[in-house]
Chains A and B, each alone.
Chain A
Amino acid sequence: MSADTPASSDADPAPEAVADLQARIEELETEVSDLRTEVDDDGPKKMVIIATKGTLDMAYPPLILASTAAAFGYDVTVFHTFWGLEILHEENSKNLQLSSVGNPNMPVPNMIAALPGMDRMTTRMMRNRIAENEVASIEELIETSIATGVDLQACQMTIDLLGYDEDDFYDGVTTGVGAASAFQDMVEADIQLLV
């Protein structure tokens, strides 16, 4: 505080020290303004989801979060790899299955759940529930996601591994991408999720 009040001349700092300080202040001001520009120029926030599962229940969370984040103004990328590709496969996505095996939340003991035809029954039950509760279909969520600018990507390595063709996927799905581009997106993203 005392530095702000006029003091005797012998307490005044040397002119070189004042000049030094002024230069330092200008330097810091430039740095702050550069950083501010950098932050402001960052554009919209980003979210990346890596979708690796292809069962009916696991297909929902990535698509619901992706379309919601897009509604919040986020740039969203969902990178689908391994069984996650099934979600983007136009034909298979309408036929995703659900299994009670290894799922203690389902009311069927594993011994019985493992019997032939049980997955089909469990899936049918789940689909009925989805329809009754007016939850959107996977197809609808994919179309909504693409329409709202979500970048749905299909991992090229797993496309080849599973013997799929680019034409098997929904229109608007990005193909020809790999781990490096997914990683790069994740580095720049504010939110990264593995599903």
Chain B
Amino acid sequence: MSTETAAETLDVKGQNCPMPVVKTRGAFDDLAAGEVLEVIATDSGSMSDIAGWAESTDNAELVGQEEATEGGEDVYKHYVRKTE
């Protein structure tokens, strides 16, 4: 999933609930149809929050999610495509 070419990257590292979802929505609104948004968070709750948000949002498709360790901290990456 990391091979997805993201049109935009949103960095919400260090921010906690509800900010990752709220800011994802804001960045998602600025996407063109077909584009993918990459969201990088450190909030572990963002895994279920962003998945749930994408499921409930008509024109959002969760392309992938992954966990990684970068610079000694756990990061959670989300890829959301705007379908229309």
Q: Chain A: residues with CB nearer than 8 A to chain B? A: 64, 67-68, 70-73, 133-136, 144, 148
| Contact call B25/A136, Cβ cutoff below 8 A | no
Which residues of B line the A interface, CB within 8 A? 14-19, 21-22, 24-26, 53, 56-58
Give the contacting residue for A136; candidates B19, B24, B53, B56; CB below 8 A. B19
Which one of A71, A135, A144, A148 contacts B53 once the chains associate, using CB atoms below 8 Å?
A: A71
Contact A73 B18 (CB under 8 A): no
B18 touching A67, Cβ below 8 Å: yes
Pick the contact of B22: A133, A134, A148 (CB < 8 A): A148
Additional 8 contacts, C-beta under 8 A, given A68-B18, A68-B22, A71-B25: A64-B18, A67-B22, A72-B25, A73-B58, A134-B16, A135-B17, A136-B16, A136-B19
Return chain B residues, CB-CB under 8 Å to A73.
Answer: 57-58
Contact A148 B25 (CB under 8 A): yes
Would B25 and A134 count as touching, CB distance under 8 A? Answer: no
CB atoms of A70 and B25 under 8 A apart: yes
Residues of chain B within 8 A of A68, CB atoms compared? 18, 21-22
